[in-house]
Amino acid sequence: MHQGSEPFINEITLARSGVFSILNREDGDGQSWKTTFSIGDRFFHVQGVATRGRPHGVDPDVLLALQTLFFEAKCPDDDTVECTAYALLKLTPMGTRGNAYSRLRDSLLRLEGVSWLTRVSRQSEGRFRGITETNRLIDRISVQDTSLSADGEGGTIEAGAPLRVTFSRHFAESIRAGMYQILDAKLLSDLKQPTARSLYRVLQAHRVGDDGSLARELPVIMAAWREATGLTGQRSNNVKRTLDGAHAHLIAAKYLRDVNYKESDEGTRITYEFTGEVDPELVRLLTDMKVTRPVAEALVSEHADRIQEVVKAMKMRLAQGYKPNSLGGAMVHAVRNPDSYIDAPPPVAPVSSPSQSKPRTKAKPEAESSPLSQAESVSMICNILKLKLGRAPRAAAQAKLAALPPAKLELLAAASKTHQADLVAAVHEAVGEAP
């Protein structure tokens, strides 16, 4: 689906629309809401119904855990996740003790009970052109629980009993298609406060530009930001207090560099400044050479000092007749192995004589066919797994990958280049556990 030239990505739109409140605790007034607000040049109109309370607190973490289990099960055709409450909680920050099983029950019921209409549009020539969609996340849940009353209020899910969650068809298809928000798993793990984790999701969604790049600054008007963060109905001083607490955690985690408040004609303006940004010009040099943006940003982050020289060397080779099977793949190899390209002898021009056209015994093979080292293979596989999973592979799986025999690792590296859709399953089989 497209809105103009902008990919209409299900989960990013969900994060942008304020369906989930960043509040840690329910405020008691969230069963239905309607709001219209704008962030940048995008206008959002949202009508939501939450029969068991508006999603908040740990609910995004529970949803992410369900998505992870669904993906690890190879996205079953019946759109259903089958597991135990213990297995699900292990993938969340809630732990597996105390009231975690009661909180999990409440969270699952909230996620099943919310549905919403979202219209995202842009203004042009006095008209608002956009897309209107109705959505829900979960069609059905089935759990075994114990409570003190017949209505199940305050009930606790049994830790080892079967638990079934069936996604809505649309949401399941969005996971299969890879339309999920890619987040930094380490940062989510470091952020212990649910409000900070939720605000991170919202900020990261609104940072994404039409070309997939991430903004270095994000200015928002507080009244609109209140709606975008699901704080509908909260007074301004309460909104600021909630945001400030989350800001402190995000600054301490080095996600935000600074947050500034300033009065304007439109009301209080909040400007977010982000850390860890890469040089956009260096990223552009790589994307112009057919490297995908996420990979380009990772390469610039790791090897900014060599990008310009490597791109120049590659362009010189191309001008002299070098024709790689994949320009993007050759560029990635060149950035990681600059000595194979910089100041290397140019490729030998083809000649008409059959005897002279035979390969010379001392000629260098084309760089793209050079074998990767063990460490390079593991790094490449883990980078692609991160894109596929929306998080970094688990440490145990990475350690087992690094310990694989060279022949097996070479097969996985080849799969990562040519059959990325099967890579998760291939790694699972090779190391004996889900990555």
What is the number of domains present in the chain?
A: 3
- Give the least confident one: 277-281, 283-287, 317-321: 277-281
Q: What is the pLDDT of residues 223-233, one digit of tens each?
A: 999 999 999 88
Q: pLDDT confidence of 88, banded at 50, 70, 90?
A: very high
Does a structural domain hold residue 337? yes
Does a structural domain hold residue 369? no
- Give the least confident one: 114-123, 377-386, 424-433: 377-386
Is 54 in the same domain as 160? yes
Cβ contact 41:220 at 8 Å: no
- Give the least confident one: 25-34, 39-48, 270-279, 393-402: 25-34
Return the DSSP state at 221.
Answer: E
Does a structural domain hold residue 356? no
Confidence (pLDDT) at 361: 43
The pTM of this model reads 0.65
Q: What is the pLDDT of residues 307-317, one digit of tens each?
A: 999 999 999 99
Range(s) of the domain holding residue 395: 374-431
Does a structural domain hold residue 365? no
- Going from the C-alpha of 364 to that of each of 160, 335, 345, 361, 368, the distances in angstroms are 59, 18, 9, 9, 11
Cβ contact 37:227 at 8 Å: yes
256-264 and 267-274: which strand pairing? antiparallel
Identity of the residue numbered 241: R
Tokens of 207: 């940072």
Q: What is the pLDDT of residues 59-85, one digit of tens each?
A: 999 999 999 899 888 899 999 999 999
Cβ contact 256:273 at 8 Å: yes
Confidence (pLDDT) at 55: 94
Taking residues 274-288, report their average pLDDT: 85
**Considering the chain, what is the average pLDDT of its residues?**
83
323-331 long-range Cβ contacts below 8 angstroms, 24+ apart: 324/366, 324/368, 325/368, 326/290, 326/368, 327/289, 327/290, 328/289, 328/290, 328/291, 328/292, 328/295, 329/368, 329/417, 330/367, 330/368, 331/286, 331/289, 331/290, 331/291
Taking residues 3-17, report their average pLDDT: 62
Residue ending a domain, choose from 253, 274, 295: 274
Tokens of 195: 């409000």
Is 314 in the same domain as 419? no
Confidence (pLDDT) at 184: 74
Is 303 in the same domain as 154? no
Which is nearest to 107 in space by CA: 68, 185, 52, 167?
52
Confidence (pLDDT) at 171: 92
Is 23 in the same domain as 100? yes
Is 174 in the same domain as 77? yes
Is 267 in the same domain as 298? no
